[in-house]
């Protein structure tokens, strides 16, 4: 018995297709996952088996081999739980689902069979559309985020049973729509018009924004430097849809989205503490992830108390400011993240 299901994984700020192949043969009962899985993917074996049993389905009792292709790229995270479970049910129940090739699936499974949220759904949705998939099945928590991508039906699912019943034609689900969501949510909580007085500072900021320049504000404590900085994004031209998608992809990978803010519609404003490390600002860790300069892409990076930052931390800003992108090389690989932002800094005299 054999089943093949499409999924996707995030690499950098983009996604790539992952084909999950489930094959059941004779021999001692065992579940083997191959294709460079990390610890979280290997642990899915126990989550999936328990979720299938608690959902009322049979899972294959023979030697089950699960291949994550392409096999030369490391697979990370729990987002393959849902497609692996569907493949195991299809083989365990001996059900033929010809429509599987038209769809893509991502989602983490709870032991009860419920589908939990995952990171990086937006780039996965863009990749599914590029691969001409008919629909993408994601956790209900992530559905609004993925629905921003036009030309692709997005279904938010709550459980493994709900998903499999839909594939068998026993249940109806309606795709999630996000019409006019972008235009309806482009509002800021603050406004540059709130600032009274200080005409020379406001004029300098307006010139810097108009010319795309960085700016340093020097003044005594309480003079309004931070208050002015927080309102700078409100006078930068509104983000285009393409800019918003670029920025949301980064926020999605970092897990910064929630159902109430599933899409970044306003210019990001980030103000890291002066104790931040080089990796925190630039990006890094064992498997490179975006740092503050990339999370602030198309927005404003505010460094308050500039002299308090470590010299090495300030030095790493050179490449992102000059090139609008940052390349991070680690043993796991080299990745390039976008980092076009306006740098605003403040200090006491």
Tell me what the mean pLDDT of segment 89-105 comes to. Answer: 84
Judge whether 217 and 338 are in contact, CB under 8 Å: no
Judge whether 75 and 35 are in contact, CB under 8 Å: yes
- Report residue 115 as tokens: 């589908």
| pLDDT (0 to 100) of residue 36 | 87
Strands 14-25 and 2-11: antiparallel
Phi/psi for 258 (5° steps) reads -145, 170
Percent of the chain with pLDDT over 70: 97
Handedness of CA 69, 73, 74, 80 (dihedral sign): negative
| pLDDT (0 to 100) of residue 279 | 86
Phi/psi for 282 (5° steps) reads -90, -30
Tell me what the mean pLDDT of segment 266-286 comes to. Answer: 89
Instruction: Return d(Cα 188, Cα 294) in angstroms, integer.
Output: 21
Find the range with the poorest average confidence among 153-162, 185-194, 295-304.
185-194
Supply the mean pLDDT for the chain: 90
Q: What is the pTM of this model?
A: 0.83
Q: How confident is the model at residue 61 (pLDDT cuts 50, 70, 90)?
A: confident
Tell me the pLDDT tens digit for each residue of 204-221: 999 999 999 999 999 999
Query: CA 19 → CA 47, 84, 131, 139, 271, distances in Å?
Result: 20, 10, 12, 19, 40
| pLDDT (0 to 100) of residue 183 | 65
| pLDDT (0 to 100) of residue 8 | 94
- Report residue 18 as tokens: 């992952």
Tell me what the mean pLDDT of segment 169-198 comes to. Answer: 83
Per-residue pLDDT at 179 exceeds 70: no
Q: How confident is the model at residue 48 (pLDDT cuts 50, 70, 90)?
A: very high
Tell me the pLDDT tens digit for each residue of 113-132: 999 999 999 999 999 999 99
Tell me the pLDDT tens digit for each residue of 286-322: 677 899 999 999 999 999 999 999 999 999 899 899 9
């Amino acid at each position: 018995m054999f089943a093949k299901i499409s999924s996707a994984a995030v690499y950098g700020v983009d996604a790539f297709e992952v084909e999950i192949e489930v094959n059941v043969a004779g021999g001692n009962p065992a579940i083997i996952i191959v294709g460079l899985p990390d610890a979280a993917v290997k642990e899915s074996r126990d989550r999936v088996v328990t979720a299938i049993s608690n959902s009322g389905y049979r899972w294959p009792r023979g030697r089950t081999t699960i291949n994550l292709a392409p096999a030369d790229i490391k697979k990370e995270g729990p987002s393959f739980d849902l497609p692996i479970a569907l493949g195991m049910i299809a083989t365990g129940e001996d059900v033929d689902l010809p429509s599987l090739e038209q769809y893509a699936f991502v989602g983490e499974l709870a032991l009860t069979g419920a589908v939990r949220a995952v990171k990086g759904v937006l780039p996965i949705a863009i990749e599914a559309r590029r691969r001409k998939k008919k629909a993408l099945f994601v956790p209900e928590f992530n559905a609004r985020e993925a629905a921003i991508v036009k030309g692709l039906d997005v279904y938010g699912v709550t459980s493994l049973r709900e998903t499999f019943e839909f594939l068998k034609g026993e249940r109806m689900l309606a795709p999630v729509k996000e019409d006019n969501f972008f235009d309806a949510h482009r509002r800021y909580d603050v406004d540059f018009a709130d600032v009274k007085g200080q005409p020379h500072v406001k004029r300098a900021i307006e010139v810097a924004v108009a010319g795309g320049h960085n700016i340093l504000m020097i003044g005594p404590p309480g003079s309004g430097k931070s208050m002015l900085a927080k309102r700078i994004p409100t006078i930068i031209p509104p983000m285009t849809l393409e800019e918003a998608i670029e920025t949301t992809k980064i926020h999605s990978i970092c897990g910064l989205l929630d159902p109430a803010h599933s899409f970044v519609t306003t210019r990001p404003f980030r103000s890291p503490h002066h104790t931040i490390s080089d990796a925190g600002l630039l990006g890094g860790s064992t498997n490179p992830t975006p740092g503050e300069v990339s999370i602030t892409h198309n927005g404003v990076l505010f460094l308050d108390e500039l002299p308090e930052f470590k010299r090495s931390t300030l030095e790493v800003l050179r490449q992102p400011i000059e090139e609008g992108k940052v390349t991070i090389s680690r043993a796991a690989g080299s990745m390039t993240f976008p980092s076009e932002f306006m740098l605003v800094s403040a200090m006491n005299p």
